[in-house]
Amino acid sequence: MGKSLILFLSFLIAVYFCIGQTILQKPVQCDCSNKTVRDSLVEKFIDSGAKKHSYNSPQWLLYCDSLIAICPNIAVAYQLKAIPSIKYGEYAKAFELEDKAVILEPKMYTSYRGFLKCIFMKDYEGAIIDFQKAQQLVPNSYEMDHTFLFYEGLFNLELGNYSKAEVNLKKDIFIQTSGDTSKTPHFNSLFYLGVLYYEMKNYSLAKKYLLKCIGIYQQHPDANYYLGLIYRKETNFTLEEKYLQVAKRSFEKKYGINEDNVYYANYPHQITLYEVEQALINRK
């Protein structure tokens, strides 16, 4: 039944959107090399089709499969078809589709695949390769609200390549602000630079960037947590408790690191309410 519906939808859409065809011509075929044709199909199947439903709805996959059945060279169909598998943790299946999207439109999807490798797979070496390639294809661009260099900074932080991470994250901030110190970068760029210096045991610089982070986003639980740990190391136990308590209250009020995919995967160095509570217990 599902395959029949796919073929039926494919036939109807092909009839109305494929150039030079009529209802009487069978089989209906599309000129999939024609951008106008591809754009029309994407509008019908994706914008007015799949995106009208939740990604975990059967209709989502139905529209993606129907588009692929008509024109197998439309990258977005594979990228969107992969989303349910990514969310459900079926990574092998998902990356087969993501790889097809990258082959068809490398400028559009190489960085997205790198993002998935970083956040979902924790494949930092593979992610670095993708983002460096993306940087060559579309220099200083963004993926999920962050520059490519932001992600390189995260990979290098997690791999212990601290000097490289420092260069990456500072360049990330420079790109965001165009070197204008009066402009405000993304708070998580400041957060991760603070975490990097914390790991490097440069607590003065770590504190500087974490304070800048909470100056933008006061309830950032992770930034407050790391500030608490820094003040513990400095034996300033009053400020230690202050920031740990802010972190705890922020978690309880449902504040978080504020990235779109945190519902499906943890970000590097992301902490939990349990860790905050343990830090408060251990200080007593």
Identify the residue whose tokens are 């090399």: 33
**Sites in the chain below the pLDDT cut of 50:** 1, 7, 11, 15, 19-27
Q: What's 122's DSSP letter?
A: -
**Residue at 190 is within a domain:** no
pLDDT of residue 284: 61
**Residue at 238 is within a domain:** yes
Same domain, 175 and 214: no
Query: Do the Cβ atoms of 251 and 273 come closer than 8 Å?
Result: yes
Distance CA 27, CA 191 (A): 57
Confidence (pTM): 0.86
In the listed set 185, 214, 234, which residue is the last one of a domain according to the structure? 185
Token pair in block for residue 121 = 């797979």
Provide the domain count of the chain.
3
Identify the residue whose tokens are 């905050």: 276
Same domain, 122 and 159: yes
Q: Give helix then strand counts, H and E, for the chain.
A: 14, 2
Give the model confidence (pLDDT) of 50-61 as tens digits: 889 998 888 999
pLDDT of residue 13: 53
pLDDT of residue 29: 67
CATH of the domain at 135: 1.25.40.10
pLDDT of residue 55: 86
Same domain, 100 and 110: no
Identify the residue whose tokens are 């974490």: 210
Query: Do the Cβ atoms of 6 and 62 come closer than 8 Å?
Result: yes
Q: Which residues contact 185 (CB under 8 A, 6 or more apart)?
A: 172, 173, 176, 177
Same domain, 2 and 81: yes
Q: What's 143's DSSP letter?
A: E
Query: Do the Cβ atoms of 228 and 241 come closer than 8 Å?
Result: yes
Residue range(s) defining the domain that contains residue 141: 106-185
**Residue at 197 is within a domain:** no
**Residue at 192 is within a domain:** no
Side chain identity, residue 283: R
CA-wise closest residue to 38 among 73, 69, 89, 1 = 73
pLDDT of residue 25: 40
